[in-house]
Amino acid sequence: MRTQKRSVPQIKDKEAWQAAIEELKSTPPGQDAPPIPDPSTAVKTSDPGDISCELDEYAAFVKELRSSGIIKDHWSGLSRHKNSFSGRAFVDWVVETKQVDRERAVDMGQALIDRFFGHQVKAETTFQDADIYYRLLEDDDTHALNAGPSDSGELGEDLRKLILKIYSSYLSADGRKVNYKGIGDSSEFEHYVRLTKELVRVQIAEATRDEKLAFFINVYNALVIHANVTMGPPVNLWQRYKFFNTVKYIIGGQQYSLQDIENGVLRANRRGMGMILKPFGSSDPRLKVALSEPEPLIHFALVCGAKSCPPIKTYSADGITEQLRLAAEAFLDGDDGCQVDMAKKTIKLTQILKWYSVDFGNNKKEVVKWVCEHMGEGDKRSQVNELMSGGKYSVSYMPYDWGINA
C-alpha cells in the first residue's frame, strides 16, 4: 500500500531483496497510505486491556488471572463450583490492576469467553458483573483427551496432513488394520497430541458444510485412534457404550464425544443407536456447528476401530462429496458392505445400514435402492437391480465384527 502497488514482489535472490528494500525507502507513500504510527503513542501488545489483542496475549492475561487469588472453590446453594471465580470478583480485580472502568473490565471478561479461554459454569455465553461463576476452560473437570491451554490457528488442514502421515506409516495398505503400538511410540503421534490442543479454540461454527464434513470426519477417526492408543480399546458392550459417549475432544470451547460428532454434528442432531434424546438440546451452543441436513455418506468414512468398519482415509473439504461417494462405492462393492446370492435371492447388508436406516430410506426396499444407486458399475449392482426388478428377494444384515482393527 505504501508503494501504491497491488502485487507482491517475488524475491528470488539477495540482490532482488535489497533492491526491493531500497525501492520501499525511496518511494513516497500514496495519498491513501496509512500514516506511520508514532512509537510514543503505540499501545504495548502485552497490554491485556486492549480487547483486540491476539490469543497469545490473552494467554498471558490468563496467567495473571491464575495468580490473582480469585480462582477458588465457591458454593452456590448446595452446588460446589470448583476452581471458579465470580464475574464481580473478576471485574474488581481488573479495575484495580489494569486501571480501567467496570464496563471495560466486563468487555475483557467477555473476550475470555469469546476466545474460548473460559466459560460460565451454567454454560451461558454472556459475561456479567455479578455473583455468577465462571471457570477457565482448562480447569473443567473433563476427560477430554486434548484438554489443556493452547493457542488456536487454522489447523484443520495441518491436522489432516499429520494424520495422513501417521496413516501412511502405521496403516495396512488397504486401510483396514492399524498398528496402534507403533503409533503410540512414534514422534508423529506425540506431535499430533500437541496439535490437538489447538482444537480447543478453533473457530468452526462459521465453516462451510464441506469444511465441517472433512474436519469432523478426520477428527472423529483420529480421536478413535488417540483413545485406543492411550486408553486401550473397548472389549464389551458396556465399554463400547462408555467409549462412544465419554471419549471426547474440546473443539471451539465445547466438548464433543464420538456420539456428539457423528449424531450431533454430521447427522444433523439425530438420535443414534440406543439414544432416547437427541445429542444436542434446543439451547446447546453446539447446534450452531451441526449440519442442517444429515449426510448419509459419512457412514462409510467414520471408523470406530472395529474390524467391520470401512477403511480409514483422510478427507479434504475440496471435493468432499465425491470423496465420500467413492468411499461408499468401494465399501458397498466389497463383501463387508453387501453380499448377493442370486440362487437364494438374498441380499445381505452391513449392520451400518440397519442401525442408521433412517438416513437411507423409510423401509428396506428404499435402503436397497439407495445401496444400488451408490454401488460401482459391475456384476453386483446388476444383480441387485435384477432382484429389485423381480420383486421377490429377502434382505438381512451381516454380523458386525467388533474386534479391534489392530
What pLDDT is attached to residue 53? 34
Strands annotated E in 14-98 = 72-76, 79-86
- Please enumerate in sequence order all residues whose Cβ is within 8 A of that of 348, keeping only pairs 6 or more positions apart, or say none: 338, 339, 340, 341, 395, 396, 397, 398
Phi, psi of 109 (to 5 degrees): -65, -40
pTM beyond 0.75: no
What pLDDT is attached to residue 61? 78
Q: Measured in whole angstroms, how far is the alpha carbon of residue 222 from the centre of its chain?
A: 10
What pLDDT is attached to residue 5? 42
What pLDDT is attached to residue 325? 96
Strands annotated E in 346-403 = 346-349, 394-397
- The pLDDT tens digits along the chain (406 residues) read 444 443 444 444 555 556 655 665 566 555 544 444 444 433 333 333 333 334 446 667 777 888 888 888 877 765 677 888 888 999 999 999 888 899 988 888 887 776 666 656 565 567 888 888 888 766 665 556 665 544 333 566 777 788 888 888 888 888 888 898 999 999 888 888 888 877 877 878 888 999 999 999 999 998 999 999 999 888 888 888 888 999 999 888 888 999 999 999 999 999 988 888 999 999 999 999 999 999 999 999 999 888 888 888 889 889 999 999 999 999 999 999 999 999 999 999 999 999 999 999 999 999 999 999 999 999 999 999 999 998 889 999 999 998 888 8
Which cell goes with 65? Answer: 488471572
Location of C-alpha cell 488417540: 226
Q: What distances in angstroms separate CA 197 from CA 43, 111, 124, 190, one per listed residue?
A: 30, 20, 23, 12
Half-sphere exposure for 390 (CA within 13 Å, toward CB): 12
Please tell me the distance from the alpha carbon of residue 119 to that of residue 137, in angstroms, as a whole number: 7
Amino acid sitting at position 25: K
Which cell goes with 204? Answer: 468452526
Location of C-alpha cell 525501492: 23
**Hey, what domains does the chain have and what are their CATH numbers?**
1-36 (no CATH), 55-139 (1.10.10.10), 156-324 (no CATH), 332-397 (no CATH)
Q: Name the residue among 336, 315, 323, 312 with its Cα closest to residue 183.
A: 312
What pLDDT is attached to residue 6? 38
Which cell goes with 22? Answer: 531500497
What pLDDT is attached to residue 210? 93
What pLDDT is attached to residue 16? 58
What pLDDT is attached to residue 59? 65
By the 8 A CB rule, do 311 and 323 touch? no
